[in-house]
A = this chain, B = another copy of it.
Amino acid sequence: MSFEFGISKTMNRTYVHGYDPRENIRLQDQASTLVELLHSDTKYPPDSKVLEAGCGVGAQTVMLAQNSPGAYITSVDISESSIAEAKRRVEEAGCTNVVFRQGDIFDLPFGDEQFDHIFVCFVIEHLSNPIEALNCLKKFLKNGGTITVIEGDHGSTSFYPDSEEAHKAIRSLVELQKRAGGNANIGRELYPILNTVGFGSIRVSPRMVYVDSSKPHLVEGFIKKTFTAMIEGVRESALDAGMIDQPTFDKGIKDLYRTTEKDGVFGYTFFKAVAEKN
């Protein structure tokens, strides 16, 4: 999903969704509809030191700070402008337990075992080397500390009425993200990735956003403003790259909107992993 905030220097050049203000609004819309589903069970104890790696514009930072008011949160991102926006939002929410640092996830200015917990959300899908990135983060974590990784998985998208064109339009975003070095279907891979990095006690739980017309806020906030807007956002890039023809792409988008009608249904699965360093 484009629940993904820039993190690596090399990503800046190829970041699929860009950093424009409309994208920020969409990310915010999405976080307010998904926050309960994804984050309500993330609570850190008082006095624990938490590193949020790749905070982006702070869509998750306010939730982290509010869910764990006694924890000390350090949020880092590669982008100065994203950090400025994140800072504004955290201040606006009245949170005082967050400090921000600009830095590259592969070269952060922290000491070994400096943090009790690490939180990484919508980040590693954009990295060509997610294992290396998590290895870099692991050394900042105390023994017995936890890492939480949350990612979407575009391949999990299903809907009614079904549409081959809509799947093709979605796959063109997956392919663009792949060409930029990322992996939009990475959610399902969290277990093997964390296992490879050497984390233990890995527990992965799928979080499906299920939407039918009994949930008008998710029809609007998730199907239209988050998911379909994200696919629409790559129209020019996908057509320019010759990945898909224009009538197919446009029919796919039309069919995604069709799922927002009274008899429509939409599902998308995020994966949340919590693992320990031991």
Contacts and interface: CB of A to CB of B under 8 A. Distances in A.
A192 B263 contact: yes
A191 B214 contact: yes
A128 interface: no
Contacts of A202: 212, 214
A158 B153 contact: yes
Interface in A170-219: 185, 188-189, 191-192, 195-196, 202-206, 208, 210, 212-214
A214 B273 CA distance: 13
Contact of A205 (B158, B160, B205, B210): B210
A162 interface: yes
Given A191-B212, A191-B214, A213-B191, A267 B156 contact: yes
A158 B156 CA distance: 7
**How many of these chains are in the complex?**
2
Given A195-B263, A267-B269, A269-B267, A188 B204 contact: no
Contacts of A185: 162
A192 B262 CA distance: 8
Interface in A9-58: none
A169 interface: no
19 contacts: A155-B158, A155-B162, A156-B156, A160-B188, A160-B189, A162-B185, A188-B265, A189-B265, A191-B213, A191-B265, A192-B264, A192-B265, A195-B263, A202-B214, A205-B210, A206-B208, A206-B267, A267-B269, A269-B269
